Chains A and B, each alone.
Chain A
Amino acid sequence: GAVVSQHPSWVICKSGTSVKIECRSLDFQATTMFWYRQFPKQSLMLMATSNEGSKATYEQGVEKDKFLINHASLTLSTLTVTSAHPEDSSFYICSATVAGDYNEQFFGPGTRLTVL
């Protein structure tokens, strides 16, 4: 149980294009999903917290107009990197909590984004 999927697992795009990453909870309802970014040899950095049916809460320093988050249902959240640049190249990971529980987070397998 508590399986989270992400799609795509990797993506290469040209600078200036937009990329959408999907995060799905496969066997549970997740009222809260989290988006993280991890650069090589660095720790996870929380980007935003996404609640179903409401606007995402972004961490300080994360541009909400660049990283668009939509949490349309209890099993799906999307992160769109708009006008991507090489410095946005990173490992993007989502996680989800079981509905009503703000504790255990289960991570998706991650999406590796490379912007040329």
Chain B
Amino acid sequence: QKEVEQNSGPLSVPEGAIASLNCTYSDRVSQSFFWYRQYSGKSPELIMSIYSNGDKEDGRFTAQLNKASQYVSLLIRDSQPSDSATYLCAVNMRGEDTGRRALTFGSGTRLQVQP
């Protein structure tokens, strides 16, 4: 079964520190990777997408992808209390039952930024 694995946390970091969120995936041919942020009681919000090996930076966020290791990460610099949320890693995979590509989500990592 194709999977996306994340540490459930909580990951606790002090305000201003760098938060590092990690994700591994099982489908070796996946080409699209996403990070979503989900506040409690709300729907997910897309914050980063990455398609090529290496780093992609957007403001305080940096996504890192290593396809050989089947590993994707998200770094949040200068963490703020408002960053406290659950971060979902999503990988575009082909479903074994349907044969169609769809996002497979990890269970999410809960981040707590301490003021």
- Stretch of B39-47, B57-65, B77-85 lying at the A interface: B39-47
Q: Which residues of chain A from 63 to 112 have any CB-CB distance to chain B below 8 Å in the complex?
A: 91, 93, 102-110
**Would you give the shortest CB distance from B86 to chain A, in whole angstroms?**
9
Chain A CB within 8 A of B34 CB: yes
Chain B CB within 8 A of A46 CB: yes
Query: How many residue pairs at the A-B interface have CB separations less than 8 Å?
Result: 50
**Number of contact residues on A: which range applies?**
20 to 34
**What's the Cα separation between A57 and B101 when bound, in Å?**
12
How many B residues, CB 8 Å from partner?
24
**What's the Cα separation between A104 and B92 when bound, in Å?**
9
Partner of B46, one of A59, A102, A106, A109: A106
Write the residues of chain A forming the contact surface with B, with a CB cutoff of 8 angstroms.
34, 42-44, 46, 49, 57, 59-60, 91, 93, 102-110
Write the residues of chain B forming the contact surface with A, with a CB cutoff of 8 angstroms.
32, 34, 36, 41-46, 49, 88, 90, 92, 95, 97-98, 100-103, 105-108
